[in-house]
């Protein structure tokens, strides 16, 4: 079996095993409402993870996604409260704002040549500070106001039980996978991640590729923000804090390697669902918080260690096979 | 290739359109109230609410505090457990909101899906928990908020002292300073109703009765000791003369007290809650006073309110505003510290 398909099988198998463990050891896991709940929970992380997958496949990283979501959500809440703009316009502005954040990230990384980790860590602080700039204030004190515009609130809604955010996530995941596997941009993304120097020498503008993936991530963060405030109905100053790590965990569990050049959106989708199943299952046990965090941490670390070991094993096998074939060819000649 | 993609997209769009048309998109509360039966609003004032038998049917009650780790939440949980433990038909579960609106929303969703009979909620953010409170109420689950309100009509709120605490502290500070002086405020997490009310009460009394007392600054300590310590240090560097500090809770007052001690300054420090650690600080003279709430009794009150709501079947659709039960405020300073007995401490 190809390495890629093997890895996919392992991702799906882990998800199924986890779901079965929770299903048999707790009540109410395999009910329709619970499963629809899980699919809803995974969707926000999942939408952003699509973009972050692109970034990680190019051997980059984006630590500012949570802050972008926080900033865009607060911007929306501010516009709705202070200017009563129509829902459609607010949604357009939010996606635009997210995209602009992505453009800034890409600029700092490609034009200012700051390493991604530091660049996005810094922009994270920048975007988080913008949250406070746009926070709604009454008499100088920050107050959080409910969003009452039905056009926005309906984004947190569902059709026959299936949440809009879930449908959007799956649609965007399909589009993301098609981009990765069937378009030139996808090929360039893999090439940039696998070996940037080679890609440059082959004539690929790796700077533009890396810029593009940040813009895509920012765009997706904007979309995710709309669904987030649609569901919660307000924007708090700490919204999105820690989200970037959930997203990165989902991407890595799904098979994208930090070294770049490997992974796809199918894996990321499985990873996002895995994280949501894990969170949902742990809550069912009603354990104290410390135990919850330990279990979550151990499972994530185990998946990442396994991924690393598996990758090394497969690399060894590939080299072995290559040297065997080289020997056989040398022997013949 | 392009044709394939286009046709895929068209099919996808059609499918989504069909789905949307077929079912119609509903928000959470609409879907929940449909499932529970009924249109979400009582038709006439005389429509009777029917409940369960709270003392014989199997009942599940859940408590979702902001952070289970702090002493206030622990005292509430103790009060609830000791009351509900008397009834063998009641299952009582405590969760942890981890000070996150997202986490609280997720847990609310879970309790709704698992058909809890009542939920006691300490809302991390009033606006942020409004949607899930609506959903729970629409599904027929009464939500009783404890101390931190949710910004929507729900079955009940058991409020610790807030406005009155602010008013009483303002009186005490005003009197002791002779009507003139400078104060700073270390406030709660933005968006918390309790903090807003304490502030309102405090500023009201100062404006009316002590207009010569100046409020130099106000910063959020996010209910936390460490944050308040940092904020207080900032204030002490910025302002030469501070006569008094109002902190929206005891944890922050303790942090401010440490900062004042380190800077060797004599400042009046007031908190709100009345936790055991604060009472010790007052005894040692590090803090001036606090407004005590009997948290265990408050927890028990929430639990009793739940049993009433479950038994009567009353939910938000029978109410036009959230009914509030307020706990009695007791101003505690070094003079009357002995009024708080050992078993009242938490």
Question: Considering only A143-152, B4-13, B84-93, B286-295, which range has the smallest mean pLDDT?
Answer: B4-13
Write the ipTM.
0.79
Report how far residue A156's alpha carbon sits from residue A231's, in angstroms, rounded to the nearest whole number: 4
Distance to chain B for A135, nearest Cα, Å: 10
Q: For residue A269, is pLDDT > 50?
A: yes
Rounded-to-10 torsion of CA B320, B321, B325, B329: -160
Cβ neighbours of A37 in B, within 8 Å: 109-110, 113
**Which of B20, B95, B126 has the CB atom closest to A144's CB atom?**
B126
Residue B318 lies in a domain: yes
Task: Identify the pLDDT of residue A123.
Answer: 96
Report how far residue A282's alpha carbon sits from residue B279's, in angstroms, rounded to the nearest whole number: 37
Residues B12, A158: C-beta atoms closer than 8 Å: no
Percentage of chain B with pLDDT > 70?
89
Q: For residue B296, is pLDDT > 60?
A: yes
- Compute the average pLDDT of residues A35-55: 94
Q: Label residue B320 exposed, middle or buried (CB < 10 Å: 0-12, 13-18, 19+).
A: exposed
End-to-end CA distance of chain B: 70
Task: Identify the pLDDT of residue A333.
Answer: 60
Q: What is the DSSP string of A11-75?
A: HHHHHHHHHHHHHHHSTTTTSHHHHHHHHHHHHHHHHHHHHHHHHHHTT-----HHHHHHHHHHH
Percentage of chain B with pLDDT > 90?
53
- Compute the average pLDDT of residues A6-31: 88
Q: For residue B58, is pLDDT > 70?
A: yes
Range A177-183 contact pairs with CB under 8 angstroms and sequence separation of 24 or more? A177/A264, A177/A265, A177/A266, A178/B5, A178/B8, A180/A54, A180/A57, A180/A264, A180/A265, A181/A264, A182/B1, A182/B5
B82 and B114 housed in the same domain: yes
- Give per-residue pLDDT as tens, B170-197: 999 999 998 899 999 999 887 777 888 8
| DSSP type of residue B327 | P
Question: Considering only A6-10, A215-219, B243-247, which range has the smallest mean pLDDT?
Answer: A6-10
| CB pairs < 8 Å spanning A and B | 123
Contacting residues for A204 by C-beta, under 8 A, at least 6 apart: A188, A191, A192
B145 and B224 housed in the same domain: no
Task: Identify the pLDDT of residue A140.
Answer: 65
What's the pLDDT band for B23 if we cut at 50, 70, 90?
low
- Give per-residue pLDDT as tens, B74-116: 999 999 999 999 999 999 999 999 888 888 999 999 999 889 9
Our count of domains for chain B comes to 2
- Which domain CATH number covers B300? 3.40.50.2300
Average pLDDT in chain B: 86
**Spatial CA neighbour of A39 closest among A128, A158, A130:** A158
Residue B20 lies in a domain: no
Looking up tokens 């502005």 gives A93
A 38-57: CB under 8 A from B: 41
Widest pairwise Cα distance in chain B? 84
Task: Identify the pLDDT of residue B16.
Answer: 58
- Give per-residue pLDDT as tens, A177-235: 999 999 999 999 999 999 999 999 999 999 999 999 999 999 999 999 999 999 888 88
B213 and B322 housed in the same domain: no
Domain range for B151: 59-159+295-328
Q: What is the DSSP string of B231-293?
A: HHHHHHHH-S---EEEESSHHHHHHHHHHHHHTT---EEEEEE--HHHHHHHHHTSS-EEEE-
Higher pLDDT, B267 or A160: B267
Number of C-alpha atoms within 13 angstroms, CB side, residue B74?
8
- Domains of chain A with bracketed CATH: 3-288 (1.10.3470)
Higher pLDDT, A186 or A33: A186
Do B242 and B216 form a contact (C-beta atoms < 8 A)?
yes
- Give per-residue pLDDT as tens, A119-167: 999 999 999 999 989 988 876 667 778 888 888 888 888 888 889 999 9
B277 and B175 housed in the same domain: yes
Residue A138 phi, psi dihedral angles, 5° rounding:
-125, 120
Task: Identify the pLDDT of residue B43.
Answer: 47
Residue B284 phi, psi dihedral angles, 5° rounding:
-80, -5
Residue B124 lies in a domain: yes
Q: For residue B33, is pLDDT > 80?
A: no
B168 and B286 housed in the same domain: yes
Residues A159, B191: C-beta atoms closer than 8 Å: no
Report how far residue B67's alpha carbon sits from residue B55's, in angstroms, rounded to the nearest whole number: 29
B273 and B185 housed in the same domain: yes
B175 and B230 housed in the same domain: yes
Looking up tokens 């969170």 gives A279
Q: For residue B46, is pLDDT > 60?
A: no
Cβ neighbours of A166 in B, within 8 Å: none
User: Which of A41, A133, A141 best tests the B interface by mutation, with the highest count of B CBs <10 A?
Assistant: A141
B169 and B235 housed in the same domain: yes
Contacting residues for B57 by C-beta, under 8 A, at least 6 apart: B89
B83 and B95 housed in the same domain: yes
Residue B175 lies in a domain: yes
């Amino acid at each position: 079996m190809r390495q890629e398909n093997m890895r996919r099988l392992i991702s799906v198998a882990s998800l199924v095993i986890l779901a079965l463990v929770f299903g048999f050891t707790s009540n109410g896991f395999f009910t329709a409402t619970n499963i629809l709940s899980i699919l809803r929970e995974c969707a926000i992380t999942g939408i952003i993870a699509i973009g972050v997958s692109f970034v990680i496949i190019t051997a980059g990283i984006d630590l500012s996604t949570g802050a972008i979501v926080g900033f865009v959500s607060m911007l929306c809440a501010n516009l709705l409260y202070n200017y009563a703009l129509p829902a459609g316009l607010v949604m357009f502005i939010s996606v635009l704002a997210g995209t602009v954040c992505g453009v800034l990230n890409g600029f700092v990384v490609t034009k200012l040549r700051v390493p991604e980790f530091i660049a996005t860590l810094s922009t994270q602080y920048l975007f988080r500070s913008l949250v406070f700039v746009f926070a709604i204030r009454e008499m100088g004190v920050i107050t959080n106001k409910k969003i009452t515009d039905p056009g926005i609130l309906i984004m947190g809604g569902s059709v026959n039980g299936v949440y809009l955010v879930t449908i959007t996530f799956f649609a965007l995941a399909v589009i993301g996978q098609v981009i990765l596997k069937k378009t030139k941009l996808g090929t360039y993304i893999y090439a940039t991640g696998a070996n940037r120097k080679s890609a440059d020498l082959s004539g690929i503008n790796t700077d533009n590729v890396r810029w593009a993936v940040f813009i895509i991530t920012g765009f997706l963060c904007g979309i995710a923000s709309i669904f987030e405030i649609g569901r919660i109905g307000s924007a708090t100053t700490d919204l999105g804090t820690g989200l970037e790590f959930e997203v990165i965990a989902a991407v890595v569990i799904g098979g994208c390697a930090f070294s770049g050049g490997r992974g796809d959106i199918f894996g990321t989708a499985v990873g996002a669902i895995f994280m949501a199943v894990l969170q949902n299952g742990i809550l069912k046990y009603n354990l104290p918080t410390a135990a919850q965090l330990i279990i979550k941490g151990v499972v994530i670390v185990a998946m990442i260690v396994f991924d690393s070991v598996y990758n090394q094993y497969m690399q060894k096998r590939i080299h072995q096979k290559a040297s065997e074939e080289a020997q056989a060819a040398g022997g013949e000649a | 290739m392009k044709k394939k993609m286009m046709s895929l997209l068209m099919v996808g769009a059609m499918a989504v359109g069909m789905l949307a048309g077929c079912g119609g998109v509903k928000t959470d509360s609409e879907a929940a109230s449909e499932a529970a039966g009924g249109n979400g609003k009582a038709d006439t004032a005389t429509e009777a609410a029917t409940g369960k038998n709270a003392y014989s049917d199997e009942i599940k009650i859940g408590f979702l505090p902001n952070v289970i780790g702090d002493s206030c939440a622990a005292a509430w949980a103790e009060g609830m457990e000791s009351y509900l433990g008397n009834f063998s038909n009641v299952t009582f579960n405590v969760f942890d909101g981890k000070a996150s609106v997202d986490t609280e929303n997720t847990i609310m969703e879970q309790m709704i899906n698992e058909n809890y009979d009542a939920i006691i909620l300490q809302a991390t953010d009033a606006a942020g928990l409004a949607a899930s409170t609506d959903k729970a109420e629409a599904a027929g689950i009464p939500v009783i908020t404890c101390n931190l309100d949710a910004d929507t009509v729900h079955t009940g709120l058991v409020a610790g002292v807030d406005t009155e605490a602010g008013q009483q502290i303002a009186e005490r500070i005003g009197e002791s300073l002779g009507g003139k002086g400078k104060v700073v405020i270390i406030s709660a997490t933005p968006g918390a109703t309790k903090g807003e009310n304490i502030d309102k009460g405090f500023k009201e009394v100062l404006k009316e009765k002590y207009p010569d007392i100046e409020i130099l600054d106000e910063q959020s300590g996010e209910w936390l000791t460490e944050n308040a310590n940092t904020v207080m240090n900032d204030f002490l560097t910025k302002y030469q003369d501070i006569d008094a500090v109002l902190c929206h809770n005891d944890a922050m007052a303790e942090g401010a007290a440490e900062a004042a001690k380190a800077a060797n300054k004599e400042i009046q420090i007031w908190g709100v809650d009345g936790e055991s650690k604060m009472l010790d600080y007052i005894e040692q003279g590090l803090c001036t006073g606090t407004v005590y709430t009997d948290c265990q009794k408050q927890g028990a009150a929430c639990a009793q309110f739940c049993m009433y709501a479950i038994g009567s079947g009353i939910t938000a659709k029978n109410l036009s505003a959230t009914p509030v039960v307020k706990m009695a405020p007791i101003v505690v300073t070094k003079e009357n510290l002995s009024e708080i007995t050992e078993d009242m401490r938490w």
